[in-house]
Amino acid sequence: MYEDYLFLLSPPEAIKQEISRYKRASAKLIGNYKSMDSPAHISVHHLERQKPFMEETNLNKIEKGLNELPPALLHVDGFKFFQHLHNRMTIYAHVRVTPAVDEWFTQLKRLLKIRKTIIPHITVTRDVAGPDFERLWPNFRHKKLVEPFWVNELIMLKRETFAHEPQWQPFKIFEFKNKQTMANTAEAILHKQAAADNQIQDQINLF
């Protein structure tokens, strides 16, 4: 038996709801598309067709290292896009990369033995055709979505690689427990986040 593993960061519920609104508004313009029903998240690492190697000793080692990381303060900051082969496009909510954020992701990559570059982002419309992108992008390019949020844990999902209809299932949650580096700014940011959450709830018309 082979398994796939997915490591991801999950934003707070208010941001999930806001991204979901953009997904639904996009579907009204172009119809159904990949990622339409996927909850908002930041993908960190995807391992495919692995032998079940996550035995307890490996998990404990990973967990110990991740527990020593501090929670990360991230900011959604507008929208950007990726261009793929064959004129396929992905629109995503951009996550601002500061020196502190870059260093945090560098430590995360080291702990998970990730060699590839991570561009933190939250996908809105994944792998849509060029004409659909041209219809959507004018509605995204000038949107001022700027929201701070804390990430306190890394979520690990798994699925059976060759299952008939493989579904991701929760497998493990790793907490970031080093609170010292966030102590001086947490209270102020959380107040801002609460205000932002209230503002997001009031937003209805997207396009």
Domain ranges in the chain are 3-202
pLDDT at 7 over 50: yes
Domain 3-202 belongs in CATH node 3.90.1140.10: yes
Cα–Cα distance measured from residue 45 to residue 42, given in angstroms and rounded to the nearest whole number:
10
- pLDDT score for 48: 86
Among 124, 108, 96, 125, smallest CA distance to 44 is for: 108
Give me the percent of the chain exceeding a pLDDT of 90.
71
56 or 136: which leads in pLDDT? 136
The first and second tokens of residue 157, run together, are 């999902």
| Phi, psi of 142, rounded to the nearest 5 degrees | -110, 10
Q: What is the predicted pLDDT for the residue at 197?
A: 52
Structure-token pair, residue 86: 């064959």
User: Using 50, 70 and 90 to split pLDDT, how confident is the model at 56?
Assistant: low
| pLDDT confidence tier of residue 136, bands split at 50, 70 and 90 | very high
Q: Looking at residues 174-194, what average pLDDT do you find?
A: 64
Mean pLDDT for the chain?
88
Confidence band for 128, pLDDT divided at 50, 70 and 90: very high
Q: What is the pLDDT of residue 204?
A: 44
Q: How confident is the model at residue 144 (pLDDT cuts 50, 70, 90)?
A: confident
Query: What pLDDT shows up at residue 185?
Result: 45
**Predicted local confidence at residue 193, as pLDDT:** 52
Q: What is the pLDDT of residue 174?
A: 97
The span from the CA of 33 to the CA of 76, in Å, is: 23
- What is the arithmetic mean of pLDDT over 23-40? 95
Instruction: Give the pLDDT of residue 95.
Output: 97
- Give me the pLDDT at residue 124, please: 98
